Amino acid sequence: MRWAISEVPFVKRLLLGRWLHWSITAVTLAVFVVVILTGIFGTPAGNHNFGIVYVWLVWWALLKIVLIPFLGRFWCSVCPIPAPGEWLQRRAMIQPRPGGRLYTLGRKWPKFLRNIWAQNFGFLAVALFSALILTSPLVTGLVLLAFILVSLVTSLVFERRTFCRYLCPIGGFVGVYSQMAPVAVRIKDPAVCAGHKEKTCYIGSDAGYGCPYFNVPSKMVDNTYCSMCGECLRTCPKDNIAFYVRQPGADLLHTKGRRLDEAFNGLMMLGAAFVYSVVLIGPYGWLKATARAVGTPGWFVYAGVLLIFNAVAVPGLFWLCVRLGQALSRKPAARTGAGGARTPGRRDSLFADYAAILVPLGLAIWVAFTLSFTLINLSYAWPALSDPFGWGWNLFGTAQMAWTPYVSGLIPYLQVPLLLAGLVGAIALALRTARQHGQPAWSAVPVSLFCLAAVVGLLTLYLA
């Protein structure tokens, strides 16, 4: 069930042209420059620092509540971090170079890293320092500066958007959760692709560049690595690719042959949501202070507990639930010869396949978590706009606006329906997974209870 929105002439012109993505990127780059400058040179008081407010409140809320659920990985196509590197790599911003040629050292990204494991552990690493990053403008500024420098270097040493595809901690979960989005870039007719050997969508041509995310469009069945940049639409000589509006979460309906690294990402993000909810939103001041006191013995204990919880305990518990489900169904998973739809020949991994149910659940949980602090603190955005450095400016007259929590009483009424929807989606997907693996429905019960426990746990943290 899908509709090719890019067939509408106006939309097609917009998407095929390069000005749309470029102009939005120019804006995000400008904001990014201000973020770095205010982070490094502005007031250390986070509430009134443009860097902290516009990254961890405004951008984060936009990303979690609007961009990912509705536009998938679209943010990545306008993100400022890879932009300068990509422009230098292409030596072009609008008009592409002939043949879609890239000017890099052309090194190949190591095979063992061609997955999202680096991004998984990158996110955990950021999570370890997050109590400090979120509340220190200087650290935010330096971390983002480091990101853009690493991205610049990888753009010139390796090919395409290596940073985004294999290194960026944000890209990891944005990609996994973008499977829920109601938009997708897919080929129209597989037969056309079968007859086209040149694969300019991957190689590039005079009309544009090969997919920056190393996707082969004819093989793309999910949104995980597609930022909807439109290059493939520009390079396809057969006009066989389109932007579709489609059923949300359709990518998850094929439950077989899922990747372990993506599964771990879903598990780790769930654990991270719990950790953040306990440490940041909970009432334990000593825990927050310990989490922020990077380098102290207490912090090392906290870091150890966090890593064990996210990397071992949560995935371990989920694995137990999968095993329990198999025991309940008294039937091992069917070992089909040719894996699933995405990785032919790959051994069927029930654990990874079941872990996909954490995508709808995890997205719902992260939106609920984001809501718990966004609406309350959004009013910091107005003074930060007029006085980004905290130097006493008043560019737009809003510098003296006081902190005003918005609709604070409404937040639980938004969180509960979200969590319920995520829970139902996860259970529905679990039952589907069981069925598609030839397993009785009992096999899905323990993981469903896992999801129920996660939701009840989170509700208890927020509401009890």
Partner 1 sequence: MSRFASRRWVLGAVTLGLVLVALLAPVPLAGPAPQERHISVNARTFEFDPSIVRVNRGDTVLIKLQAEDVVHGLYVDGYDVSTQAEPGRPGELRFVADRAGAFHIRCAVPCGNLHPFMIGKLVVGPNLTWLRAVAASVIAAVGALAALWRP
Partner 2 sequence: MKRNLFAVMTVLLVLIGLPAGLFGYQAWRTGQLAWAAGVRVVDIVARSPEQGGFAPDHLVLKAGEPVRLRISSADVVHGLNIPGLGVDVKEILPGRVVEVDIKPEKPGRYAFACTRWCSIDHWRMRGVIEVKADAAHPAAQETQTAPLYQKLGVNLDAVWPMDGPRPAQTPSAERAAAASGGLPESLLDPSQRVATAPADAFRQLRADPAHSQLGDGEIWDQVAWAWLHDVKPETLSMAGSLYSRDCAACHGPQGKGDGPAGRNLPGMQKMDATGDGASPPAGPADFTDPARMLNASDVVLQGKILRGGMGTRMPEFGSLYTDDELWAMVQYIRTFLFQPAGK
Q: Which residues bind partner 2 (CB under 8 A)?
A: 22, 26, 29-30, 33-34, 37, 43-49, 84, 87, 92-95, 383, 387-393, 399-400
Reference 196, options 188, 230, 244, 231; nearest CA is 188
Angle made by CA atoms 109, 32, 230, in degrees to the nearest 5:
55
**Member of 127, 423, 433, 447 binding partner 1 (CB under 8 A):** 423
Q: Please report whether residue 26 would count as binding partner 1 according to CB under 8 A.
A: no
Considering only the stretches 17-25, 131-139, 307-315, 351-359, report the one whose residues sit in contact with partner 1 under the rule CB under 8 A. 131-139
- C-alpha–C-alpha distance, residues 302 and 231, integer Å: 44
Residue given tokens 């008081």 in the structure block: 45
Tokens of 185: 């870039």
- C-alpha–C-alpha distance, residues 49 and 20, integer Å: 29
When CB distances are held under 5 to 8 angstroms depending on the partner's kind, the choice from partner 2, partner 1, none that residue 405 binds is partner 1
Q: Please report whether residue 131 would count as binding partner 1 according to CB under 8 A.
A: yes
**Member of 104, 136, 162, 235 binding partner 1 (CB under 8 A):** 136
Q: How many alpha carbons fall within 13 Å on the CB side of residue 147?
A: 24
Q: Which string of b and e fits 401-436 if b means at least 16 CB within 10 Å?
A: eeeeeeeeeebeebbeebbeebbebbbbbbbbbbee
Give residues with Cβ within 8 angstroms of 295, minimum separation 6. Answer: none
Q: Please report whether residue 334 would count as binding partner 1 according to CB under 8 A.
A: no
- Closer to partner 2 at the Cβ: 142 or 317? 142
Q: Please report whether residue 411 would count as binding partner 1 according to CB under 8 A.
A: yes
Reference 357, options 308, 428, 461; nearest CA is 428
Considering only the stretches 89-97, 114-122, 166-174, 432-440, report the one whose residues sit in contact with partner 1 under the rule CB under 8 A. 432-440
When CB distances are held under 5 to 8 angstroms depending on the partner's kind, the choice from partner 2, partner 1, none that residue 324 binds is none
Q: How many alpha carbons fall within 13 Å on the CB side of residue 2?
A: 21
**Member of 92, 412, 414, 418 binding partner 1 (CB under 8 A):** 412
Residue given tokens 């520009």 in the structure block: 234
**Member of 77, 370, 433, 448 binding partner 1 (CB under 8 A):** 448
Strand partners, 421: none
- Closer to partner 1 at the Cβ: 103 or 284? 284
Per-position x/- string for 276-295, each x denoting binding to partner 1 as judged by CB under 8 A, each - no binding: ----xxxxxxx-xx--x---
Instruction: By CB under 8 A, name the binding residues for partner 1.
Output: 44-47, 131, 135-136, 280-286, 288-289, 292, 372-373, 376-377, 403, 405, 408-409, 411-412, 416, 419-420, 423-424, 427-428, 431-432, 435, 440-441, 444-445, 448-449, 451-452, 455-456, 459-460, 462-464
